[in-house]
Amino acid sequence: MVPLQLLRVPFRHLQPRPLGGSRLAVAAGAAAAAACASGAALAAAWAAAAAAGAQGFRVIPVAADGNCLFSSVAQGEAVADGQQPLAATATAARAQALRAAAVEELRTRRAEIEWAVEGDFDQYVARMSRSGTWGGEFELLMLSHHLARPIEVYMHNPELRRIQAYSEELPRAPVRVLFHGVGHYEALAE
């Protein structure tokens, strides 16, 4: 097992993270959904897409359904392997498989990562195993190990820049995702 690479540039503070089922989670999820649907968020998404295009990337949109991190990795994996973007049903199926893989990696690497998880680790893993629970930096790190390839996270603020890279020492083509800062991820392709 490859040892965990500690996060160099944490960005958890940028991402709201619903905690399954609580009123706070419902409110946070509703606020994020409203932000994603707002004109300002839409304008920001268009600006991010334009910046990505200017830097040789294109944005592959994914649904804002709570599974966007996993869907983005699914799409990013396909295009990094030279394939066309996945159809909606294939994206959903691959995202579900990636969620399960991330949860299994969390369990396998518990001794290495439990200290960094806020709250009860078992409850966190149980929540993360449910469809619609937002993924974040732990899941990206776990997926980089599961896929044995780098995962790069980009953000637009005010230009597109890479804010994190997981397992960048691995030789395979990286999966690239765009984090919008309102709890939403999309895939990036060259």
Residues with active-site annotation: 65, 68, 184
Residue in 186, 121, 188, 109 with CA at minimum distance from that of residue 145 = 109
In contact, 154 and 180? CB cutoff 8 Å: no
CB atoms within 10 A of CB 129: 16
State the Cα torsion 55-52-17-99 to the nearest 10°: -90
**Phi and psi torsions of 138, nearest 5°:** -60, -45
